[in-house]
Amino acid sequence: AAPAGAVAFGVKHTEGVSVDVLLRGRPEPEPVAGAGTRWPLDEGTVLRFSMSRASSELNDNKVTVSFYAEGGKPINQAGVFLTGVGISLDVDADRDGVVEKNSPHKASWAWGPEGHGAILLVSCDKELP
């Protein structure tokens, strides 16, 4: 997807995004810490984006990739806007009839009337062919 004549690229991103550059032949990714670092545009190079928290609004994070020609001359840029979505399974973990988001019993389970933890019943039958 790089423009013709591009030999290197650089990456900028907003604070809520983590970006790693995975280069062919290197087992460990290189984190993108700040602007100014450039990588050779080689086949098999992968950019990995991630977000560790939910967004406060739609499209509030961005990653911009800049492409450079031989000698460092900028050619073009490509960007993507990101929205982090938070997902949580909220349950009545202490079985008192109240669903709590941050119950300390969410991560464990104990059997019996004084037990804690969610009881999850899954329907695994085939309703429709």
Torsion sign, CA atoms 113, 119, 124, 127? positive
Identify the DSSP state of 29. P
54-67: pLDDT as tens digits: 999 999 999 999 99
pTM: 0.65
Q: How many domains does the chain have?
A: 2
Distance CA(41)–CA(2), nearest Å, equals: 8
Q: How many CB atoms lie within 10 A of CB 93?
A: 22
Of the candidates 74, 119, 123, the one whose C-alpha atom is nearest the C-alpha of residue 95 is 119
What is the per-residue pLDDT for 34?
59
- Residues 22, 67 share a domain: yes
What is the per-residue pLDDT for 77?
95
User: Does any domain span residue 30?
Assistant: yes
User: Does any domain span residue 129?
Assistant: no
Structural contact between residues 103 and 45, judged by C-beta atoms closer than 8 angstroms: no
69-125: pLDDT as tens digits: 999 899 999 999 999 998 877 777 777 888 887 777 777 778 888 787 766 667 777
Query: What is the span of the domain harbouring residue 53?
Result: 6-82
The residues facing 39 across adjacent strands are 9
